[in-house]
Structure 1
Amino acid sequence: MVIESSPTNLDPRIGTDGQSEHIDALIFDALVRRDEHFNIQPWLAQSWETPDPLTVVFHLRSGVHFHDGRPLSSKDVQWTIMSILNGKVPTVKSQAYRNVDHIDTPDPLTAVFHLKKADPGLLPSLSDGAIGIVPAGSGRDFGLHPIGSGPFRFVSQEQDKEVVIERNPMTWGTPPAIERVRFAVVPDSITRALELQKGSADIGVNALTADQVYAMRNDARIVVESGPGTILNYISFNTRDFVLKDARVRQAIAFAINRPLIVSALWRGRARIAESLLPTEHWAWSSNVDAHEYDPTRANALLDAAGFKRGRDGVRFHLTIKTSTDETGRTLAVVLQQQLRAIGIDLEVRSFEFATFYADIAKGAFQMYTLRWIGGNEDPDIFRYAYATASAPPHGANRGYYSNPEFDALVAEAAVTPSQSGRAAIYAKMQQIVAKELPAINLWYLDTVIVHNRRLRNVHLSSSGTFDFLREATVDQ
């Protein structure tokens, strides 16, 4: 399988990039899993109950063992979460469990979470992709030689070259049909396409450009499978910037972007227009928000009303957008540059190697940037993480320092509302606020696209672009 980059850390308590989380989900098991509508279902925990708002009791599945033969027990659940909270491992995931006070283990198959305050977001934070259960005693270097209980066990890894996993014969579920998987790190998309075409690689998930997928669609040796995905392209604004602090400017930029044209040209139609952070399949998604269809006349009127008149050269003001050196990110920025020029905005594009780019946006050193949400936008707590005043770096991803007291009050209300229907109504209000004020522009949800050779069968698409299909896929010999 070809992947774009090495996982940053295979300790599920630490790794937050897409490669780490997708491979971790094969090596480790979570307490619970999310279904296609992102509702919580049993996994390691066969059941749970909440005797009061501050207590959650999990009943674990019996007969589960780690890859080294140790039985998985409630002590391992306790260690996994508390090692995050007590600083035994360096991780940004501690915010997800900030409301956990302590965990009791009255017997090997019972874990009792005691909370500081009610937290409806706890279960999603304990689900697949968010965390996996590690053996008690796992330390800071655990990610170099991870030991989980999942359907595959870790074999080896070499930075910027490969990660190798193999079938776990002791899995408590159905053993995978595939015996061994090598994740080959191939940063260049052209090389990834060539590896797939010549058969030296079997599969890639969201690993090729839309043009490459289009070119390979009629190759008799290749199968292209695609479906609606949840990965979200977005543009974020620095709301403390002199120009961008005016919501009318942010709205004007949204109306100036011809998203259907970009989806058609850059993505060959393999994307869905987005107006919310949440995917449309999500139980908390709301359609009752301001839409931003392409309307340059309205965009010009908003900029005029905000006091930014055109100069003699037709330019109202200058902005800079930052992106990584990823090919599609740079191409998107150039298209935005062209489209914003039509409404009098001179947009400068600056692209950087990913580590430098991410360091800049994490400390707020930008006016605009474009990036993707991968997985994080499947949990409605994303609204707190991305837009709450208290989530400004280093406490969250509110990198543009957006602040709205009404929005913050809704975040606090959602945190203590027990019913899903009640929280859905609150999240609908949040979506209305951010769709109006636009601390960021949600562009489109990318389709999940899997390209594989024909000997690989029983490949099931995941809207999240995960590698879970490897649990059930088969290979013709």
Structure 2
Amino acid sequence: MRRLLAATGLLGCLPLASCRSAPENGRTVVMIVESSPNNLDLRLGTDAQSERIGSLVFDPLVRKDEHFEMQPWLATRWEQPDPLTWIFHLRSDVYFHNGQPLAAADVVWTIESLIDGSLITSKGGAFSAVASVEARDPLTVVIHMKRPDASLLFNLSDGLFGVVPRGSGRDLGQHPIGSGPFRFESAEQDKEVVLDRNDRYWAGTPKLERVLFSVVPDAVTAALELKKGSADIASNVLTLDMVHTLEHAPGLAVEAGPGSTVYYLNFNVTQGPLRDRRVRQAIACAMDRTAIVRAVWRDQARLATTLLPPGHWAEARPETLARYPQDLARAARLLDEAGFPVGKDGVRLGLEIKISTDETTRLLAIVLQQQLRAAGIRLTLRSAEFGTFYSDVTRGVFQIYSLKWIGSNEDPDIFRYAYGSDRFPPKGGNRGRYSNPKLDADLTAAANSSEESTRKGYFVDAQKILAEDVPGIPLWFPNNEIVHTQRVTKIVASGSGSYDFLRTAELK
């Protein structure tokens, strides 16, 4: 907390000369992001910035509404004549940024590249039930399934899927060509990404002419740039104390609302003490998540019992799940049972957590380090810039890490993607290499069912297994907090934390 307060205090005393100067082009909106996108090609990019910025460059077949229901987008309608066949009818007025009309053959190419092995991508696992894809005519796509998969529509939606021009290879992310509201202009790793308005956008030309995404890993520097006016927008970048300070600053405004993004801890269950679920349960018992939400999030977050957003149709009732309120005595019993007695120095075991340089995550790790120390667990912090951190995470080079699920957790198939035995990277997001045959059976049964009530039963069982085994710990759902200069108007925070507000935002 001393670090948090110190960081907030710096907003009023650090010299503004340390910030970048205002952009020369007054029509350019500068938006701060914590890290560079790993790959703007939505077939390959799985990190938050890739999906959020990529969704402005590419269009999906369908889009989620505020209730996570699928609505038409590139596909004006679809039907399912039988459980193994999906037919999508496309718009006729869509063009890629290079002037080429978007047609069924482009959709076919996009999906085939995800399943034919030409791309090494974790998103391919989401289409493992697809047998083949065909263009029945220039505006009709038919997807033939090996087995029913009720999550197909979700996997074809915004943030997860974007149609690419036929023939696009694995290098598309270096200069992406999509059909979205903004065109890619340039990118420089760890510095910026620049997008220009797509004047021919079929869904309505954006009001903003140009958006420069400026990479600023340090939250204090980001806050100073907003205060100076050399940046215009920061979405979920700053600590809540910084947001609270800046909402009273001249020329700035804050938009906020409940979010569906979930923060979580994940364990490498193949690593040393973490192979024993009693150790993982003890870590959960040593944590005081309520205190962390109060201290780090200023009570602007909801505690999570599962990865699914509160109120989701497949969410298990909290009282039916194994729960771990802070209980140091229970943590001690679990560690004794697991064979980790208290040493002469008061330490039972040592573990390491890997984090990015994101300020909020660093604050979480510092508080967590203190809380686990009370249970006899010595937690070492290892921080790295996001690219290095994310590479280690996907390769399984970690014991514990902290990240957030953005958008993907709005569909219950997140449990299969994150914890299915067949979803180890690069086929999915099971980075902790967790495997449980009963969980796999429940998730397979849910995927093969088309009845929502039946699927919910399997998903509830899956959540019970995960709550007992603790391969990871869902932490909380923070509110979305967008700080912006008052020269940018019509900004509305979305539940998913996406950058969709740039589609409708305007400059005074």
Q: CA contact under 8 A between 1:57 and 1:111: conserved in structure 2? A: yes
* Unpaired stretches in structure 1, ≥5 consecutive residues: none
Q: Partner residue of 1:127?
A: 157
* Pairing partner for 2:468 from 411, 436, 440: 436
One-letter code of the match for 2:386?
F
| Alignment of 1:191 onto 2:221 | yes
Q: CA deviation at 1:433?
A: 1.1
C-alpha change, 1:201 and 1:97, in structure 2 (3 Å) is same
Q: CA deviation at 1:225?
A: 1.6
Once residues 383 and 444 of structure 1 are traced to their aligned partners in structure 2, the CA distance between those partners, rounded to angstroms, is: 17
* Pairing partner for 2:194 from 141, 145, 164: 164
* Pairing partner for 2:89 from 24, 45, 59: 59
In angstroms, what is the RMSD of aligned CA positions? 1.9
Once residues 206 and 40 of structure 1 are traced to their aligned partners in structure 2, the CA distance between those partners, rounded to angstroms, is: 25
C-alpha change, 1:447 and 1:107, in structure 2 (3 Å) is same
Q: Partner residue of 1:424?
A: 456
C-alpha change, 1:5 and 1:447, in structure 2 (3 Å) is same
| Alignment of 1:299 onto 2:335 | no
| Alignment of 1:411 onto 2:443 | yes
Once residues 85 and 175 of structure 1 are traced to their aligned partners in structure 2, the CA distance between those partners, rounded to angstroms, is: 33
Once residues 309 and 236 of structure 1 are traced to their aligned partners in structure 2, the CA distance between those partners, rounded to angstroms, is: 24
Q: CA contact under 8 A between 1:37 and 1:281: conserved in structure 2? A: no
Q: Partner residue of 1:229?
A: 259
| Alignment of 1:250 onto 2:280 | yes
Q: CA contact under 8 A between 1:37 and 1:283: conserved in structure 2? A: no
Q: CA deviation at 1:35?
A: 1.4
What SS does structure 1 have at the residue aligned with 2:257?
A: strand
**Number of aligned residues:** 476
* Pairing partner for 1:373 from 405, 409, 418: 405
| Alignment of 1:460 onto 2:476 | no
Once residues 343 and 187 of structure 2 are traced to their aligned partners in structure 1, the CA distance between those partners, rounded to angstroms, is: 56
One-letter code of the match for 1:293?
P
Give a deviation string over 1:76-135, Cα, whole Å, max 9, x none: 111111122223444332112122221111211110001122111211111010111112
Once residues 243 and 399 of structure 2 are traced to their aligned partners in structure 1, the CA distance between those partners, rounded to angstroms, is: 33
| Alignment of 1:269 onto 2:299 | yes
Q: CA deviation at 1:421?
A: 2.6
C-alpha change, 1:93 and 1:341, in structure 2 (3 Å) is same
Once residues 308 and 182 of structure 2 are traced to their aligned partners in structure 1, the CA distance between those partners, rounded to angstroms, is: 30
One-letter code of the match for 1:162?
E
- Percent of residue pairs bearing the same amino acid type: 55
Once residues 460 and 493 of structure 2 are traced to their aligned partners in structure 1, the CA distance between those partners, rounded to angstroms, is: 28
Q: Partner residue of 1:317?
A: 349
Q: Partner residue of 2:430?
A: 398
Once residues 96 and 37 of structure 2 are traced to their aligned partners in structure 1, the CA distance between those partners, rounded to angstroms, is: 22
Once residues 193 and 370 of structure 1 are traced to their aligned partners in structure 2, the CA distance between those partners, rounded to angstroms, is: 23
Q: CA contact under 8 A between 2:352 and 2:399: conserved in structure 1? A: yes
Q: Partner residue of 1:140?
A: 170
Q: CA deviation at 1:242?
A: 4.2
Once residues 188 and 274 of structure 2 are traced to their aligned partners in structure 1, the CA distance between those partners, rounded to angstroms, is: 43
Q: Partner residue of 1:341?
A: 373
Q: Partner residue of 1:26?
A: 56
Give a deviation string over 1:260-289, Cα, whole Å, max 9, x none: 111111122222111101111432222232
Q: CA contact under 8 A between 1:38 and 1:283: conserved in structure 2? A: no
Moved >6 Å (runs of 4+): none
Q: Partner residue of 1:360?
A: 392
Once residues 403 and 139 of structure 1 are traced to their aligned partners in structure 2, the CA distance between those partners, rounded to angstroms, is: 33
* Structure 1 stretch displaced more, 327-336 or 425-434: 327-336
Q: CA deviation at 1:160?
A: 2.8
What SS does structure 1 have at the residue aligned with 2:464?
A: helix
TM-score (norm 1): 0.94
C-alpha change, 1:241 and 1:66, in structure 2 (3 Å) is closer
Q: CA contact under 8 A between 2:121 and 2:426: conserved in structure 1? A: no
Once residues 185 and 333 of structure 1 are traced to their aligned partners in structure 2, the CA distance between those partners, rounded to angstroms, is: 22
Q: CA deviation at 1:372?
A: 2.0
Q: CA contact under 8 A between 1:96 and 1:125: conserved in structure 2? A: yes
Once residues 3 and 137 of structure 1 are traced to their aligned partners in structure 2, the CA distance between those partners, rounded to angstroms, is: 31
TM-score (norm 2): 0.89
Q: Partner residue of 1:39?
A: 69
Q: Partner residue of 1:10?
A: 40
What SS does structure 2 have at the residue aligned with 1:243?
A: helix
C-alpha change, 1:239 and 1:160, in structure 2 (3 Å) is closer
* Structure 1 stretch displaced more, 44-53 or 342-351: 342-351
Q: CA contact under 8 A between 2:393 and 2:401: conserved in structure 1? A: yes
Q: Partner residue of 2:131?
A: 101
Once residues 44 and 309 of structure 1 are traced to their aligned partners in structure 2, the CA distance between those partners, rounded to angstroms, is: 59
